[in-house]
């Protein structure tokens, strides 16, 4: 890709993501601890919305796609479908050991991930599970917010 073209794309992304971010959460096959930590980010204690970041129920309204859990063959099709339906540009964040690498499920016979083998990933938040503080810091930094 020509460097000027790349600079223009990055500039456009900065412009698009300057305002409030709407986040869609996709949980693959997991132990559900990462899901609980993601939802904990929205509680009054961690208050993700203070950064203008809120969870939405449709990928068609999202700026950010959070993906956690191991991605199996069935999840892969859903994930591709969601990615295709999302407005672009879209920031994708892989959460937890399972989202980043497949974690303890990576050797499973139905494993089809990790996430970045299926769709482009912009940020990785490791941990098993990562704490809400790490998830909030990762998403906020990706969007250029101060935590
Ligand atoms: S990373 Fe750990 S906590 Fe998160 S879904 Fe995988 S096994 Fe569960």
DSSP the chain: --HHHHHHHHHHHHHHTTS-EEEEEEE-BS-SHHHHHHHHTTSTTT-GGGGTEEE-S-GGG-SEEEEESB-BHHHHHHHHHHHHHS-SS-EEEEEHHHHHH-GGGTTSTTB---HHHHS--SEEE-SSSPPHHHHHHHHHHHTT---
What percentage of the chain carries pLDDT values higher than 90?
69
Reported confidence tier of residue 4, pLDDT bands at 50, 70, 90: low
Domains belonging to the chain, first-starting first, are 26-142 (3.40.50.12280)
What is the 29 CA–ligand 1 centroid distance (Å)? Answer: 9
Ligand 1 touching residue 114 (CB < 6 A): no
pLDDT, one tens digit per residue, over 128-145 is: 999 999 998 888 777 765
Ligand 1 touching residue 104 (CB < 6 A): yes
Residue 40 has pLDDT above 70, yes or no: yes
Query: Quick one: average pLDDT of 37-58?
Result: 90
What is the 15 CA–ligand 1 centroid distance (Å)? Answer: 33
């Amino acid at each position: 890709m020509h460097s000027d073209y790349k600079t223009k794309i990055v500039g456009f992304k900065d412009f698009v993501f300057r305002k409030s971010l709407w986040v869609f959460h996709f949980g693959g096959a997991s132990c559900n601890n990462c899901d609980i930590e993601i939802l904990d980010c929205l509680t009054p204690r961690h208050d993700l919305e203070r950064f203008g970041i809120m969870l939405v129920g449709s990928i068609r309204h999202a700026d950010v796609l959070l993906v956690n859990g191991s991605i199996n063959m069935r999840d892969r099709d859903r994930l591709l479908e969601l990615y295709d339906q999302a407005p672009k540009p879209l920031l994708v964040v892989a959460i937890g050991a399972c989202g980043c690498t497949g974690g303890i499920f990576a050797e499973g016979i139905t494993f089809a991930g990790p996430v970045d083998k299926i769709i482009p990933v912009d940020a990785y938040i490791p941990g098993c599970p990562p704490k809400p503080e790490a998830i909030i810091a990762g998403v906020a930094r990706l969007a250029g917010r101060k935590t």
